[in-house]
Amino acid sequence: MIARQFVSYLLIFCFVAFLPVQNATAHGGVVEEDDLCVIKVNYLRAHFKVYQPSAAGHEQYCEDLPVAAESIFVMEYQHDSLSTMPIDFRIIRDVTGKGRFARIEDVDAIDDLEDATVYYQPPVVEPHIYTVNYEFLEEGGFIGIVSATHPETGKIYAAVFPFEVGFTGLGYWPFIIGLLLLIQFQYLLMSGRLRRWFGKEPVVAASLLVCVLLVTPAAFAESPIVTYTTPDGTPVINHMHSWILHIKDENGLGIEGAIVDVDGGMPEHNHGLPTKPRVTAELGGGDYRLEGMRFHMSGYWEIVVTITTDSGKSTVTIPIRL
Amino acid sequence: MRVRSHKLVLAAGLIALISVACGQLSSSPPAWTVAEVEVLRSLWLDSLSDLPADRSNAVADNPVAAGFGRQLFFDARLSANGGISCATCHQAERGFTDGLQKAQAIGTTARHTPSIVGAAYSPWQFWDGRRDSQWAQALAPLEDPNEHAIDRGQVVALVAEDADYRASYESLFGALPDLPISDPLALNMAFANIGKSIAAFERTIMPTASRFDAYVEAVVNNDIDHQATLFSDDEVWGLRLFIGEANCTQCHNGPLLTNHEFHNTGVISFPGDVPDKARIAGVAEVMESEFSCRSSYSDDPDHYCPELDFARTGLDLIGAFKTPSLRNLENTEPFMHKGQLATIAEVLVHYNQAPDAMIGHNEAKPLGLSDRELGQLEAFLATLASAPSF
Please tell me whether residues B20 and B137 are part of one structural domain.
Answer: no
Could you give the 3-state DSSP secondary structure of residue B368?
coil
Please tell me whether residues B233 and B355 are part of one structural domain.
Answer: yes
Do B378 and B362 meet the contact criterion of CB atoms below 8 Å apart?
no
Average pLDDT, chain B: 94
The CATH number given to whatever domain includes residue B262 is: 1.10.760.10
End-to-end CA distance of chain B: 76
Q: Answer whether A129 sits within 8 Å of B310, measured CB to CB.
A: no
Please tell me whether residues B171 and B45 are part of one structural domain.
Answer: no
- Give the chain B residue whose CA is nearest to the CA of A55: B271
Q: Answer whether B363 sits within 8 Å of A70, measured CB to CB.
A: no
Give a yes or no: residue B371 inside a domain. yes
Candidates B311, B356, B314, B321; CA nearest to A80 is B314
Q: Answer whether A133 sits within 8 Å of B273, measured CB to CB.
A: yes
Give a yes or no: residue B308 inside a domain. no
Query: Taking 70 as the threshold, does the pLDDT of residue A225 lie above it?
Result: yes
> Distance (Å, rounded) from C-alpha B130 to C-alpha B149?
19
Candidate from A118-127, B7-16, B221-230 with smallest mean pLDDT? B7-16
Give a yes or no: residue B285 inside a domain. no
> Distance (Å, rounded) from C-alpha A49 to C-alpha A15?
25
Name the band, by pLDDT with cuts 50, 70 and 90, for residue A238.
confident
Query: Taking 80 as the threshold, does the pLDDT of residue B73 lie above it?
Result: yes
> Distance (Å, rounded) from C-alpha A119 to C-alpha A93?
10
Please tell me whether residues B106 and B40 are part of one structural domain.
Answer: no
Q: Answer whether A276 sits within 8 Å of B312, measured CB to CB.
A: yes
Query: Taking 80 as the threshold, does the pLDDT of residue B330 lie above it?
Result: yes
Please tell me whether residues B259 and B125 are part of one structural domain.
Answer: no
Q: Which residues of A touch B263 (CB under 8 A)?
A: 271
Give a yes or no: residue B57 inside a domain. no
Q: Give B349→chain A minimum CA distance, Å.
A: 14
Q: What's phi and psi for A73, nearest 5 deg? A: -95, 130
Please tell me whether residues B25 and B142 are part of one structural domain.
Answer: no
Q: Is the minimum CB–CB distance between B309 and chain A shorter than 8 Å?
A: yes
Question: What is the per-residue pLDDT for A215?
Answer: 45
Question: What is the per-residue pLDDT for A43?
Answer: 85
* pLDDT, tens digit, 9 for 90 and up, residues B82-135: 999 999 999 999 999 999 999 999 999 999 999 999 999 999 999 999 999 999
List the single best residue of A84, A129, A266 to mutate versus B (max B Cβ within 10 A): A129
* pLDDT, tens digit, 9 for 90 and up, residues A35-57: 789 999 888 899 999 999 999 99
| Dihedral angle of Cα B286, B289, B291, B295, to the nearest 10 degrees | 100
Specify the number of domains making up chain B. Answer: 3
Query: Taking 50 as the threshold, does the pLDDT of residue A217 lie above it?
Result: no
Give a yes or no: residue B37 inside a domain. yes
Please tell me whether residues B90 and B45 are part of one structural domain.
Answer: no
Q: Is the minimum CB–CB distance between A200 and chain B shorter than 8 Å?
A: no
Q: Answer whether A133 sits within 8 Å of B274, measured CB to CB.
A: yes
Please tell me whether residues B147 and B269 are part of one structural domain.
Answer: no
> Distance (Å, rounded) from C-alpha B315 to C-alpha A229?
30
Query: Taking 80 as the threshold, does the pLDDT of residue B367 lie above it?
Result: yes
Q: Which of B155, B171, B202 is the last residue of a domain?
A: B202
Name the band, by pLDDT with cuts 50, 70 and 90, for residue A11.
very low
**pTM for this entry:** 0.79
For chain A, positions 234-293, list CB contacts with chain B under 8 A: 237-238, 240, 265, 269-278, 291-292
Burial class (CB in 10 A: 0-12, 13-18, 19+), B180: exposed
Please tell me whether residues B271 and B153 are part of one structural domain.
Answer: no
Q: Which of B167, B182, B202 is the last residue of a domain?
A: B202
Name the band, by pLDDT with cuts 50, 70 and 90, for residue A67.
very high
* pLDDT, tens digit, 9 for 90 and up, residues B139-152: 999 999 999 999 99
Please tell me whether residues B252 and B373 are part of one structural domain.
Answer: yes
Q: Answer whether A276 sits within 8 Å of B310, measured CB to CB.
A: yes
Give a yes or no: residue B293 inside a domain. no
Cβ neighbour number for residue B302 with a 10 Å cutoff: 7
Burial class (CB in 10 A: 0-12, 13-18, 19+), A235: middle
Question: What is the per-residue pLDDT for B9?
Answer: 57
- Determine the average pLDDT of the residues in B361-378: 96
Q: Which residues of B touch A267 (CB under 8 A)?
A: none
Count Cβ neighbours within 10 Å for each residue of A47-61 and write b for 16 or more, e otherwise: bbbbbbbbeeebeeb
* pLDDT, tens digit, 9 for 90 and up, residues A154-180: 899 999 999 999 965 555 565 567 677
Give a yes or no: residue B388 inside a domain. no
Please tell me whether residues B77 and B124 are part of one structural domain.
Answer: yes
Query: Taking 70 as the threshold, does the pLDDT of residue A192 lie above it?
Result: no
Name the band, by pLDDT with cuts 50, 70 and 90, for residue B20.
very low
Query: Taking 50 as the threshold, does the pLDDT of residue B40 lie above it?
Result: yes
Q: Answer whether B280 sits within 8 Å of A58, measured CB to CB.
A: no
Q: Is the minimum CB–CB distance between B284 and chain A shorter than 8 Å?
A: yes
Q: How far is CA B134 from CA B122, B192, B194, B300, in A?
A: 9, 11, 12, 15
Percentage with pLDDT > 70 across chain B: 93
Name the band, by pLDDT with cuts 50, 70 and 90, for residue A194.
low
Q: Is the minimum CB–CB distance between A12 and chain B shorter than 8 Å?
A: no
Domain that holds residue B348: 31-50+208-278+318-382
Domains and CATH numbers, chain A: 19-176 (2.60.40.2550), 225-321 (2.60.40.10)
End-to-end CA distance of chain A: 58
Question: What is the per-residue pLDDT for B388?
Answer: 97
Question: What is the per-residue pLDDT for A202?
Answer: 54
Give a yes or no: residue B252 inside a domain. yes
Percentage with pLDDT > 90 across chain A: 46
Of A58, A237, A265, the CB nearest to B253: A237
Candidate from B14-23, B255-264, B310-319, B322-331 with smallest mean pLDDT? B14-23
Question: What is the per-residue pLDDT for B147?
Answer: 98
Please tell me whether residues B237 and B341 are part of one structural domain.
Answer: yes
ipTM of the complex in this document: 0.81
